[in-house]
Amino acid sequence: MLSQIAALAGSYLLGAVPTSYLAGRLFRGIDLREHGSKNLGATNVYRIMGWRYAIPVGVFDVAKGAVPVLLLGPAASATPWFPLVCGVMAVIGHVFSVFVGFKGGKGVATSAGVVLGLAPMAVGICLLVWAVIVWLSGYVSLGSVIATGIFPALVWVLYPARRESIGIYVLLAAVIIWMHRSNIRRLMAGTENRFGRHAGERSAP
């Protein structure tokens, strides 16, 4: 029991490492919560600081989700669903980070790390869907919401052995979509920022 509690606590604390915040502070002396979308995620790092910083931030955020399900969870318990619970704790840590006043990112990259370790085929399909939607629409948030929404169904179809844990996958998807509620409102109002430029900005003729 103590090892399981330690694994859950470790998963939360790893997820809570505010990668984007640290990148902004260490390399630009800024608080990303005051710039761009004001979100502590790799997309906002890209908008404000560029790819040079966004890529390593995104990779680290993915690792924050993968490590708990691949290492911490299995080491603490043989129960099949426990690694997923550790992954959920990492996502909660990222979204509600104790290190930045419980206001972190939206959990997409960390969730991708969680599910990449557990359901890689479903992640691959979701990544393809995300890329197509972002390419066609220019909206990262729209791609993230749709890809997240279809993920539990893909797990159900592709991984029958994981169906007993489908409720946790649905909960994880619901949390991520809920974290995008402001983006959804802006999408409906036509004021959401497109990838690489602001809403309402038109291409040159």
pLDDT in tens, 84-140: 999 999 999 999 999 999 988 888 899 989 989 999 999 999 999 999 999 999 999
Residue 63 lies in a domain: yes
Residue ranges making up the domain that contains 159? 2-189
Instruction: With cut-offs at 50, 70 and 90, classify the pLDDT of residue 203.
Output: very low
CA distances for 119 relative to 63, 65, 73, angstroms: 15, 13, 15
pLDDT at 197: 52
Task: Quote the percentage of the chain above a pLDDT of 90.
Answer: 73
Are 4 and 82 in contact, with CB atoms under 8 Å apart?
yes
Give all strands (DSSP E) within the chain, no chain letters.
none
pLDDT at 199: 42
> What are residue 156's phi and psi, to 5 degrees?
-60, -45
Are 29 and 19 in contact, with CB atoms under 8 Å apart?
no
pLDDT at 127: 92
Q: 35-57: per-residue pLDDT in tens?
A: 988 889 898 999 899 999 999 99
Residue 158 lies in a domain: yes
Are 20 and 42 in contact, with CB atoms under 8 Å apart?
yes
Overall domain count for the chain:
1
Residue 202 lies in a domain: no
Q: Which residue has the tokens 């109002």?
A: 189
